[in-house]
Amino acid sequence: MPSTLFVGIDVSSQSNSVFFIDQDGNNLIKKPFSVSNDIPGADSIISEVISHANAINASCVKIGMEATSHYAWHLHLHLASSPDLAPFNPKFFVMNPGVVKGFKKAYTYLPKTDDFDARIIADCVRFGRVNPTPMPDFRYAALQRLTRFRYHLVQTISSEKSRALNLLYLKFSSFKEDCPFSDVFGSASTSVFDSFTPDEIAVMPVEELVDFVLSHGNNRLKNPEEIAKTLKSAANRAYRLNPDMCDTVSMTLTMTLENIRFLESQLKKLDKEISKQLNGFRQTLTTIPGFGNVLAAGLVAEIGDVKRFKNECAVAKFAGLVWNKYQSGNFSAEDTSLAKCGNQYLRYYLVEAANCVRIHAKEYADFYCKKYNEVTKHQHKRALVLTARKLVRLVFAMLSKGQIYQPGGNG
């Protein structure tokens, strides 16, 4: 009688641990075997799978592995594209490690080793509470590399700016508080605190400081005399740094500013490439007020083929925009937390998009204000996340139907 072979693979950077069980949970090998995480190792897995599938007359092979960073990517594609496995109707399950960790708790004490993990992964697939993982669409995957890299690049820029502000406080403690510029990291602003110490600004003639500010502000600054007076006032109030530290703090601040400028130039290049890649997709998200190519690309890349999702609730769950419920007896909690268990990149782009849309679309501005005024704590974050959840409905409807944005008319 035909049966199913279940394969568990514990993936790591250098090796893969493999285990086989049948549909009744019986071990087909005494202990997992290990192969290298490369093409020869993957081919060895294919040979062993075929051998054990024939031994139990298997008509189907189900192969499970954890989504361990990027280490499972090549193995999954190599096995899925193997013509030798095709007769066994293979199905692949690249699972969230949290699912396997939770499943493992159903067992009595087990050590955390690759040998046991491979066995647990195979058993997790056998129980059938996980969904097969389709082959990736490489068009979306290529765009995804760019949008995800942009996410990390933005985080890096943010970290560098925080570091720069810490150094700025040491060099010029009152600058941020009294900053007369609209952007602390603007060209004129950074030129001032990078070029001068508070002592130098305090003794500098106002006319000379005005000329410096104008030359580095592209002559676009309004009331430069007032800016110069504010800078001199801030310089007089600022703490003085120990002379032994002045040179080192100035040097590290200068280098940090150079890092920021370089990273921001890279961000501009990346945004151009993202816009170029987005042109290869049919989408209407850019017709939403406040949506640019970057936000649209981030959503398109992470959602992929919208037909994968049954409804907008499935997209929200995939993004982690769902709230935990707590109920016991007659008690039901009103204050619940965001699950945050889904795709962090999709959640990031949805929240960023919501922040833009609430500024440009009245419907979302009104919704944001309503949610903002409902509570007294975490007002902005709560209202923004709820606006992002509302935006999911619009995004799903527009991607599904190919419609352009219509105020109050989509979905």
283-311: average pLDDT: 95
Closest C-alpha to 253, from 194, 307, 323, 195: 194
DSSP annotation string for 62-117: EEEEE--TTHHHHHHHHHHT-TTTGGG--EEEEE-HHHHHHHHTTSS-----HHHH
Task: Please tell me the predicted confidence (pLDDT) of residue 333.
Answer: 47
Q: Give the model's pLDDT for residue 323.
A: 81
State pLDDT tens for residues 128-143: 888 899 888 899 999 9
Pairing mode, strands 33-36 and 15-21: antiparallel
Structure letter (DSSP) for residue 373? T
Report the range of poorest mean pLDDT among 87-91, 93-97, 231-235, 334-338.
334-338
Q: Which fold has domain 141-276?
A: Helix Hairpins (1.10.287)
Q: Work out the pLDDT band at 278, boundaries 50, 70, 90.
A: very high
pLDDT, residue 68, reads 82
Q: Considering the chain, what is the average pLDDT of its residues?
A: 91
Q: Mean pLDDT over residues 162-180, rounded?
A: 95
pLDDT surpasses 70 at 260 = yes
Domain extent listing, the chain:
3-135, 141-276, 285-401
Of the chain, the percentage scoring pLDDT greater than 90 comes to 79
| pLDDT confidence tier of residue 115, bands split at 50, 70 and 90 | low
Q: How many helices (H) and strands (E) does the chain have?
A: 16, 7
Alpha helices, DSSP H, located in 281-343: 293-303, 312-319
Residue 210 CA to residue 37 CA, distance in Å, equals 63
* Residue 94 pLDDT grade (very low, low, confident, very high; cuts 50, 70, 90): very high
Q: What is the pLDDT of residue 334?
A: 56
Most confident region among 173-177, 256-260, 342-346 by mean pLDDT? 256-260
Q: Which of 63, 66, 64 is nearest to 101 (CA)?
A: 66
Query: How much is the pLDDT for 111?
Result: 64
CATH of 3-135, picked from 3.40.190.10, 3.40.50.620, 3.30.420.10, 3.40.50.2300, is 3.30.420.10
Phi, psi of 63 (to 5 degrees): -115, 125
Q: Which pLDDT value is given to residue 109? A: 67
Q: Which residue has the higher pLDDT, 339 or 227?
A: 227
Length of the chain: 411
Closest CA to 315 of 352, 351, 343, 353: 343
Assign 112 a pLDDT band (cuts: 50, 70, 90). Answer: low
Which tens digits make up the pLDDT trace of 300-359? 999 999 999 999 999 999 999 988 665 555 444 456 677 768 899 999 999 999 999 999
Q: Which residues pair with 60 in a beta bridge?
A: 4
Q: Tell me the mean pLDDT in the region 3-10.
A: 95
Q: What is the pLDDT of residue 331?
A: 47
